Amino acid sequence: MFRLALRCALCSCLLVPALSFGQAPAALTADPAADAKYPATMISLADLPSHGQMLMGVFYLAAGEAPHPTLILMHGFPGFEQNLDLAQAIRRAGWNVLAVHYRGSWGVKGAFSFQHAIEDADAEVAFVRDPANAKKYRVDTSKIVLLGHSMGGFMVASAAAHDPKVAGVALISAWNIGASFPPASESGGQHSTDEAAKRELMDSFSRDNDTAPLAGCTLEGLVEEAYEHRAAWNFNDYAPQLASRPVLVVTSDDGLQPMDDTFATALKKAGNQQVTEAHFPSDHGYSDHRLALTTVVLKWLATIQ
In this prediction, residue 185 has a pLDDT band, given cuts at 50, 70 and 90, of: low
116 close to 158: Cβ distance less than 8 angstroms: no
Q: What angle do CA 128, 130, 132 make, to 5 degrees?
A: 105
Whole-structure pTM value: 0.91
pLDDT at 73 over 80: yes
Tell me the per-residue pLDDT of 190-238, one tens digit each, with 9 for 90 and over. Answer: 667 889 999 999 888 887 777 889 999 999 999 999 999 999 999 999 9
Tell me the per-residue pLDDT of 25-52, one tens digit each, with 9 for 90 and over. Answer: 999 999 999 999 999 999 999 999 999 9
Per-residue pLDDT, averaged over 151-176, amounts to 98
Which of 76, 77, 124, 120 is closest to 96 using CA atoms? 124
pLDDT at 19 over 60: no
pLDDT at 155 over 60: yes
Per-residue pLDDT, averaged over 139-162, amounts to 98
DSSP letter at 185 equals G
Percent of the chain with pLDDT over 90: 84
Q: How many residues does the chain have?
A: 305
